């Protein structure tokens, strides 16, 4: 079987018994990247020679019967992630000269686990948006339909994994940036409990919003990567330990799930609603106990955007004030919006995070459920040429960083673990997804429930667009 299409779990097993070498796997991935990356444009930086050295080292470890849990497995990281000595432009001309001297703790852990990092993936400028199109790298396309976005900000990561360009990618999620491209690209995307994956050193903005986490084609692969990433680190004051990452796959029989198709406020298209209801029916048929409840909260998009835009403006003050001419229009507008946020508005938004967290605590206490199930997004991937969809579920959408991601922001504001899982296709033949969300620290239970859903729906399709590109 083509190593590019094997799971990370399968690859690691094959590498361990000598069925294939790390160098052979890497060369297959690099060759596939040479053929497919052009029309998709998932990579900001290729690291071929660095990766070849890492693959050779992995083979040496494997020959001696050693190597970490990801030894020899090809992996990508985002352009925004710090890898010592490699550009971290984050899609901005204002940062093109920036080369970090140190690697992020998460990236160090990947390399310590034996992962072969062969590329950095594209992002929108400063990772601010839910599409991937930047002044530095241009537009990234969805492997399912090259005329549509893969989402963002981890759009290059999602496109790469969906296209078979590495089974794993490290994403970052400050407002849905793992879960959006996972949903649009038919992948599993896991945003851990805030702090579970250490990030420092990293970009100075969104310090209490962003979580790093895995993007993969299966929950098992995401779990494998998370094991290598997770845990306390002395350099990151937010880092923490969470037990039970290896929680067994949940038996749907007796699994108690709160299901909410719109959280009382979020717009969604009819095809997404139908797919969500189908998943709920599958769970019920398998013996799960479905509870109809919600947090009682309204949309948190204004709370999120107040914090996100204000921190963007002030964390990137040098870029805004001294390199304004280098900024793309969308990034400049985003920062300018943040400059109009008052101190009182910013403090109020930060204070609003506690009642959001408490509402989820109360929901799980009240219902006795281990997870909350919602759609991930209310729509399929939309066409290039617009910064955001114009309507979702018949509701007009006014701002590019607001309403169409309404299911996602609470997990960032409250630091909750959340997993996007593909469950079928919408009317346009593109993937649709559900989100499994749990209390802080319940990462293992969330992954277990996500894997139970994955087994029920058996989403195993590959992007049809690749059939043409592969010829």
Chain segment 126-153, per-residue pLDDT in tens: 999 999 999 999 999 999 999 999 999 9
Extract the tokens encoding 164: 């078979």
Q: Are 246 and 30 in contact (CB under 8 A)?
A: no
Among the listed residues 141, 153, 260, 315, the single catalytic one is: 153
At 219-250, the pLDDT tens digits run 999 999 999 999 999 988 998 887 768 777 77
177 a catalytic residue: yes
Q: Is the peptide bond prior to 84 cis by the omega test (within 30 degrees of 0)?
A: no
Residues contacting residue 43 through CB under 8 Å, at least 6 positions apart = 33, 37, 76, 119, 120, 121, 122, 156, 160
**What is the structure's pLDDT at 17?**
95
CATH 3.90.1300.10 maps onto the chain at: 3-246, 256-300+354-456
Confidence of residue 399 (pLDDT cuts 50, 70, 90): low
**Neighbouring residues of 139: CB distance < 8 A, sequence distance ≥ 6:** 41, 132, 133, 384
Which residue do the tokens 């686990």 mark? 113
Q: Is 154 one of the annotated active-site residues of the chain? A: no
Instruction: List Cβ neighbours of 98 (8 Å cut-off, separation of 6 or more).
Output: 87, 88, 89
Instruction: Find the radius of gyration of the CA atoms of the chain.
Output: 21
Are β-strands 168-173 and 211-216 bridged in parallel, bridged antiparallel, or unpaired?
antiparallel
Query: Is 207 labeled as catalytic in the residue annotation?
Result: no
User: Is residue 400 over pLDDT 60?
Assistant: no
pLDDT band at 93 (very low <50, low <70, confident <90, very high): very high
Mean pLDDT estimate for the chain: 93
CA dihedral 417, 423, 424, 428 (to 10 degrees): -10
Q: Is the pLDDT of residue 382 over 90?
A: yes
CATH architecture, range 3-246: Alpha-Beta Complex (3.90)
Contact, 455 vs 465, CB < 8 A? no
For residue 394, name the pLDDT band (cuts at 50, 70, 90). confident
Pairing relationship of beta strands 418-425 and 74-78 according to DSSP bridges: unpaired
HSE-CB of 318 using CA atoms within 13 angstroms? 6
- Portion of the chain with pLDDT greater than 90, in percent: 82
- Tell me: pLDDT of 388 over 80: no
Average pLDDT over residues 77-99: 96
Among the options 80, 134, 177, 433, which is catalytic?
Answer: 177
pLDDT tens by residue, 313-359: 988 766 656 678 889 998 988 988 899 999 999 999 999 999 999 99
pLDDT at residue 432, rounded to an integer: 98
Q: What CATH class has 256-300+354-456?
A: alpha beta
Task: Answer whether residue 26 shows pLDDT above 70.
Answer: yes
Stretch among 91-105, 285-299, 326-340 having the lowest mean pLDDT: 326-340
What pTM was computed for the model? Answer: 0.96
Backbone angle region of 424, left / alpha / beta, with phi > 0 → left and psi within -120 to 50 → alpha: left
In terms of Cα–Cα distance, which of 209, 203, 185, 159 is closest to 39?
159
Confidence of residue 470 (pLDDT cuts 50, 70, 90): confident
Query: Would you place residue 213 in the very low, low, confident or very high pLDDT band (cuts 50, 70, 90)?
Result: very high
Tokens, residue 428: 């346009």
């Amino acid at each position: 079987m083509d190593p590019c299409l094997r799971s990370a779990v399968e690859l690691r097993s094959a590498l361990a018994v000598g069925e294939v070498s790390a160098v052979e796997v890497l060369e297959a991935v690099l060759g596939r990247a040479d053929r497919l990356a052009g029309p998709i444009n998932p990579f900001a930086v290729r690291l071929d020679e660095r990766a070849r050295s890492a693959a050779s080292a992995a083979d040496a470890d494997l020959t001696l019967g050693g190597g970490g849990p990801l030894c020899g497995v090809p992996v990508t990281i985002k352009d925004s992630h710090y890898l010592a000595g490699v550009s971290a432009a984050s899609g901005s001309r204002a940062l093109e000269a920036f080369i970090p001297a140190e690697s992020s703790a998460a990236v160090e852990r990947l390399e310590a686990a034996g992962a072969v990092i062969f590329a950095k993936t594209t992002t929108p400028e400063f990772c601010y948006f839910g599409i991937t199109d930047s002044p530095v790298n241009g537009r990234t396309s969805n492997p399912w339909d090259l005329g549509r976005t893969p989402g963002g900000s981890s759009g290059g990561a999602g496109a790469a994994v969906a296209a078979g360009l590495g089974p794993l990618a490290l994403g970052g999620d400050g407002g849905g940036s793992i879960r959006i491209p996972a949903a649009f690209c038919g992948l599993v995307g896991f945003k851990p409990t805030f702090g579970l994956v250490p990030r420092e050193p990293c970009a100075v903005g969104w310090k209490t919003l962003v979580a790093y986490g895995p993007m993969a084609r299966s929950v098992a692969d995401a779990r494998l990567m998370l094991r290598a990433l997770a845990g306390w680190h002395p350099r990151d004051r937010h880092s923490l330990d969470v037990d039970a990452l290896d929680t067994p796959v949940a038996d749907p029989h007796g699994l108690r799930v709160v299901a909410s198709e719109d959280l009382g406020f979020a717009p969604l298209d009819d095809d997404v609603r139908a797919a969500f209801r189908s998943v709920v029916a599958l769970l019920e048929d398998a013996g799960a106990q479905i509870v109809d409840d919600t947090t009682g909260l309204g949309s948190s998009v204004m709370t999120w955007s107040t914090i996100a835009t204000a921190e963007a403006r002030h964390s990137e003050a040098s870029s805004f004030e001294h390199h304004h001419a280098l900024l793309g229009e969308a990034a400049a507008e985003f920062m300018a919006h943040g400059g109009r946020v008052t101190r009182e508005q910013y403090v109020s938004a930060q204070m609003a995070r506690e009642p959001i967290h408490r509402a989820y605590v109360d929901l799980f206490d009240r219902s006795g459920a281990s997870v909350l199930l919602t759609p991930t997004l209310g729509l399929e991937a939309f066409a290039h040429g617009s910064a955001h969809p114009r309507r979702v579920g018949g509701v007009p959408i006014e701002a590019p960083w607001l309403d169409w991601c309404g299911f996602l922001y609470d997990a960032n504001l409250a630091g909750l673990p959340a997993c996007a899982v593909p469950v079928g296709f919408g009317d346009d033949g593109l993937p649709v997804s559900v989100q499994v969300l749990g209390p802080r620290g319940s990462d293992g239970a969330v992954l277990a429930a996500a894997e139970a859903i994955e087994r029920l729906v058996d989403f195993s399709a590959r992007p049809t667009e690749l059939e043409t590109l592969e010829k």
